[in-house]
Amino acid sequence: MTSPERAQLPITLADTAAPVRMWLPPEEADSAAVAQLRNIASLPWVHGVRAMPDCHLGIGATVGSVIAMRGAVSPAAVGVDIGCGVAAVRTDLVEEDLEDLGTLRSAIEAAIPVGFAAHEEALSSRELTRLGARGGLEEFWEGFSALPESVQKREKKARTQLGTMGGGNHFAELCVDDRDGRVWITLHSGSRNIGKEVAEVHIARAKGLEHNAQLSDRNLAVFLADSPGMDAYVRDVQWAQEYASRSREIMIGLFQDAVSQHWGARGREVRFDMPVNCHHNYLSLEQIDGEDMVITRKGAISTRGGDLALIPGSMGVGSYIVRGLANPDSFYSASHGAGRKMSRNAAKKTFTVSDLAKQTEGIETRKDAGVLDEIPSAYKDLHAVMKYQSDLVEPVAHLQTVLCVKG
């Protein structure tokens, strides 16, 4: 795919109520996603919308969208997997050290519950400390009592799912930096079922509010500022975001454990550095164009502060470690990944298990019907996505997948 000239991007959609700017060539933009972006921009509270190069149709709000609102927030603009995001850490291993990856994959799958699975018991404070997780976990759990009453009944499940990966597009990978051969651990996960339940409670509440009755898409229902509904939503979503962040931190520790034991049995001590942990489905309160606003990123990362972040591609394609360029034009944001170009059902109908095996050749991973919807061809070209946002992030490393654990 040919990269566009830099002067072409971003483009501004014509005739929108609030400005919509896209880091994607018009000919590659899905018409349904563009219509959805226009609809979002029609909300009276919206200051502006930014669409990342991986954007595609979502429920209510477009995946790959960044929305700045005055005095309101739409739960659909965060989505149901609150706090979904990525983490990474570099090892001092190099490609030549890699061996017996099938055994290592089995060890990772045994250490990190995937799919609908959870830990048999919540991990103890001693175990979490050993894994390098942050302290203050009991103080964090005190916030659970403020969540919706229907959600509080799920506390045991939430505790045992902390530090578990889930399914879908979530993964744990071992990757190699194609420049220096250094081996990285990468991870993609969210807030599990507890975040989904929090989101669904608030989406239903927002849909029932009178000021949302005339919306063309009730999925875009909003809470208004200084209302009990908005205060409760912001509080609960921030709790779920913290849950997701802590969960990734724990899984990175479990992954490091598996790696250390794998090479420790061979007399090799492994060291880790350059940790990354960031959300890409979340809200924050930020200054945009000199005003305090609610910013929702649904499939987008923050580039404020120039911190390191991870932008993954599809299963087996790898990822980019990037540094944010803090471009205010994008509301200080960049893409969260490659982005899907076809639905899961379409992928299952289009491709076969044989296609999956060919497209993941040389990678230690599942190659069965259970992950067929995650086949690389169901996703956009990650390298093109990176070129389209060259003014938003600076690539630090391109990581090629050698091992992938899926739910």
Q: Which CATH number does the domain housing residue 27 bear?
A: 3.90.1860.10
Handedness of CA 287, 288, 289, 292 (dihedral sign): negative
Nearest CA among 279, 297, 277 for reference residue 288: 297
- Was 172 annotated as part of a binding site? yes
- Was 319 annotated as part of a binding site? yes
Contact 64, 89 (CB under 8 A): no
| Assigned domain for 359 exists | no
Strand partners, 282: 297
Q: How many angstroms separate the CA atoms of 359 and 11, rounded?
A: 33
- Cβ neighbours for 368, distance < 8 A, ≥ 6 positions apart: 353, 356
Q: Is 202 a catalytic residue?
A: no
Print pLDDT tens along the chain (407 aa): 444 444 489 999 999 999 999 999 988 999 999 999 999 999 999 999 999 999 999 999 999 999 999 999 999 999 999 999 999 999 999 999 999 999 999 999 999 999 999 999 999 999 999 999 999 999 999 999 999 999 999 999 999 999 999 999 999 999 999 999 999 999 999 999 999 999 999 999 999 999 999 999 999 999 999 999 999 999 999 999 999 999 999 999 999 999 999 999 999 999 999 999 999 999 999 999 999 999 999 999 999 988 999 999 988 789 999 999 999 999 999 999 999 999 999 999 999 999 999 999 999 999 999 999 999 999 999 999 999 999 999 999 999 999 999 98
Q: How many angstroms separate the CA atoms of 185 and 272, rounded?
A: 9
354 burial via Cβ count (<10 Å: 0-12, 13-18, 19+): exposed
Contact 225, 232 (CB under 8 A): no
- Was 171 annotated as part of a binding site? yes
Q: Between helices 192-207 and 228-264, what is the axis angle to 10°?
A: 160
User: What is the pairing mode between strands 333-335 and 319-324?
Assistant: unpaired
| Assigned domain for 360 exists | no
- Was 406 annotated as part of a binding site? yes
| Assigned domain for 374 exists | no
| Assigned domain for 103 exists | yes
- Was 247 annotated as part of a binding site? no
Contact 63, 261 (CB under 8 A): no
Strand partners, 283: 296
User: Which CA distances in Å does 112 have to 161, 172, 264, 281, 405?
Assistant: 10, 9, 19, 22, 9
Cβ-count burial 280-295 (b if 16+ within 10 Å, e if not): bbbbbeeebeeeebbb
- Was 280 annotated as part of a binding site? yes
User: Which CA distances in Å does 130 have to 5, 85, 110?
Assistant: 50, 23, 18
Contact 302, 393 (CB under 8 A): no
Which one of the listed residues 56, 202, 262, 336 is annotated catalytic? 336
- Rg (C-alpha) for the chain, rounded Å, is 21
pTM for this model (two decimals)? 0.95
pLDDT digits (tens, 9 = 90+) for 275-319: 999 999 999 999 999 999 999 999 999 999 889 999 999 887 899
- Was 281 annotated as part of a binding site? yes
| Assigned domain for 221 exists | yes
Domain that holds residue 203: 6-341+379-406
- Was 313 annotated as part of a binding site? yes
Residue with the two structure tokens 């599942």 = 366
- Total domains, the chain: 1
- Was 275 annotated as part of a binding site? no
| Assigned domain for 367 exists | no
| Assigned domain for 354 exists | no
- Was 188 annotated as part of a binding site? yes
User: What is the pairing mode between strands 182-189 and 85-94?
Assistant: antiparallel
| Assigned domain for 184 exists | yes
Q: How many angstroms separate the CA atoms of 52 and 88, rounded?
A: 22
- Cβ neighbours for 73, distance < 8 A, ≥ 6 positions apart: 222, 223, 230, 233, 234, 283, 294, 296
